[in-house]
Structure 1
Amino acid sequence: MSFKTEEAGTSSILHRQVADLVKREDGWWYSGMLDRSVCGRVLSTRERSDVARGCMGAADDACRAAQCCFEGKAPVAIAGALGLKVRRVKQDDLLGSSNILGLYDPQTAAVCVCEDTVASIERFIDGQGLNDLLGGYSIFDVALLHEIFHSLEDRTPGIYTRSRMLRRKILSFFPVRAGLDAASEVGAVHFSKLMSRLPFSPCIYTWLSLVLNGRVIPDAWRV
């Protein structure tokens, strides 16, 4: 088999995988993001479902509020209206990380989007013939909206994604409430999807970045 044939075969497999992924429901992606342990105990299926639903609800509320206040404004304009500085950074500014699309810095009231990573994913989509499935959407805007949500969390006391939503016990006796960092990420992903009107989950961009950089795909996201 020639190199070109092998390359075409790999692209065909990737196209089928992405065609499957664009049809996946949000809950499938979010369950994978929440598939981890808290206080020494793995989240149950019901807990993952409940947390995902709560995060989506928080994102829905934030989206409605943002659309009411900033109707018709582009993500960059929304950031400006919120008093946030938008910074376009390079991978070298993020310690060379090739998987980080964006970053929110509350200390400087800045939202950063990594242009290198955005550009590499866009080139990968184009080079692998995935434009029919993923083309026509701004990855930069999606990443920016993701980080804007984290700023909105700081401005929303009691928001679910920052709450202690899980019940746990210490030493199998003392009841405690525990939060989950991934809940904030689920909320941000869902908010960016709603605000950008993506017909598929933004998690696909993370999945593509992992493939592009030869990283291991989480078991929960394998197709």
Structure 2
Amino acid sequence: MKYKDNFAQRFMNSFMGKREEIKEEVKIPHIRKILKDLINVSDDKWGLYAFRREPLKGKFSEDKKLELIEKANECGRKYAKKIRKENGDITVYEIAKNLGVEVDYPQRPNGGGNIIFAQFVNPNKVTVFKDSVNKAFDLIEKENLEDLFNNVNIEEILLAHEIFHYIEENNGKNMFTQTETIRLWKLGNFKNDSNIVCLSEIAGMAFAKELLNLKYSPYILDSFLVYLYYPKVAYDLYREIMDIVRLS
């Protein structure tokens, strides 16, 4: 079984999984407070957060999860360093061009009411939807949040993450995120091995973080970008990761 996750799918999974749970009125902290807390979350905790969305999460011990998280992060960093070495100190937009990635910037997805921020479409197309990018820019400017993002454009983070999925598609046979599998069953000569979905996302976040020299995990966008549309849902995602930090 092989499955490609991306910002679009993962955000919608988070959104749909939390939407019905929030029924009581809650006082949502200021977005600066939310972001400052999220920025301080370590990469291993974000990995545990990602594993909560893993379809096969019940098959791994906590120690095994942490081992896989570390390897996925290292995979992402490794390929970011490789790309930097090959391309030098250029922008992520120039990197995309050098790799042959076509980047499209429609305002919104065609059809449906789903929130989609960015996606990779095989073989070489990345789509970044401007509606969410523009809303993010407006909120950052309005609330003076530039310092929290190290003055890195949200669009660059989204693009960098999806570039990783492009690299993964072209190097999958050699990449940890695709070679690491779990055996679901074996009967005689027949077997069923599955990829571990969340490893691709964890590595993609590590890739974007290393490539853009960020001081925080791009996973903070899970809450921040959803906040632009559904603050209560974003707050619930924020509480989830803070609970992981508190309990682990």
**In which range does the TM-score fall when normalised by the shorter chain?**
0.7 to 0.9
2:37 aligned with 1:20, yes or no? yes
Q: TM-score normalised to the size of structure 2?
A: 0.74
Letter in 1 for 2:214: L
Aligned-partner SS, 2:152: coil
The one of 105, 119, 124 equivalent to 2:121 is 105
Give the Cα–Cα distance (whole angstroms) in 2 for the partners of residues 119 and 209 of structure 1. Answer: 11
2:203 aligned with 1:187, yes or no? yes
The one of 68, 77, 102 equivalent to 1:85 is 102
2:81 aligned with 1:64, yes or no? yes
Letter in 2 for 1:183: L
Q: Which runs of 5+ in 2 are unaligned?
A: 1-26, 244-248
Report % sequence identity.
Answer: 20
Distance 1:94-1:52 versus aligned 2 partners, 3 A rule = farther
CA positional deviation for 1:92: 3.3
Count of aligned pairs: 210
Q: Runs of 4+ in structure 1 displaced over 6 angstroms? A: none
Give the Cα–Cα distance (whole angstroms) in 2 for the partners of residues 118 and 60 of structure 1. Answer: 25
Aligned-partner SS, 1:155: helix
Q: Which residue of 2 aligns with 1:133?
A: 148
Give the Cα–Cα distance (whole angstroms) in 2 for the partners of residues 40 and 32 of structure 1. Answer: 11
Give the Cα–Cα distance (whole angstroms) in 2 for the partners of residues 104 and 19 of structure 1. Answer: 29
Give the Cα–Cα distance (whole angstroms) in 1 for the partners of residues 48 and 110 of structure 2. Answer: 31
Q: Which residue of 2 aligns with 1:202?
A: 218
Q: Which residue of 1 aligns with 2:241?
A: 221
Give the Cα–Cα distance (whole angstroms) in 2 for the partners of residues 13 and 170 of structure 1. Answer: 51
- The answer on whether the counterparts of 2:54 and 2:198 sit within 8 Å (CA) in structure 1 is no
- The answer on whether the counterparts of 1:89 and 1:113 sit within 8 Å (CA) in structure 2 is yes
2:176 aligned with 1:160, yes or no? yes
- The answer on whether the counterparts of 1:38 and 1:178 sit within 8 Å (CA) in structure 2 is no
CA positional deviation for 1:123: 2.0
Give the Cα–Cα distance (whole angstroms) in 1 for the partners of residues 148 and 28 of structure 2. Answer: 13
Give the Cα–Cα distance (whole angstroms) in 2 for the partners of residues 16 and 211 of structure 1. Answer: 13
- The answer on whether the counterparts of 1:125 and 1:131 sit within 8 Å (CA) in structure 2 is yes
TM-align CA RMSD:
2.6
Deviates more, 1:73-82 or 1:187-196: 73-82
Distance 1:175-1:41 versus aligned 2 partners, 3 A rule = farther
User: Relative contact order: is structure 1 or structure 2 higher (C-alpha 8 Å, sep ≥ 6)?
Assistant: 2
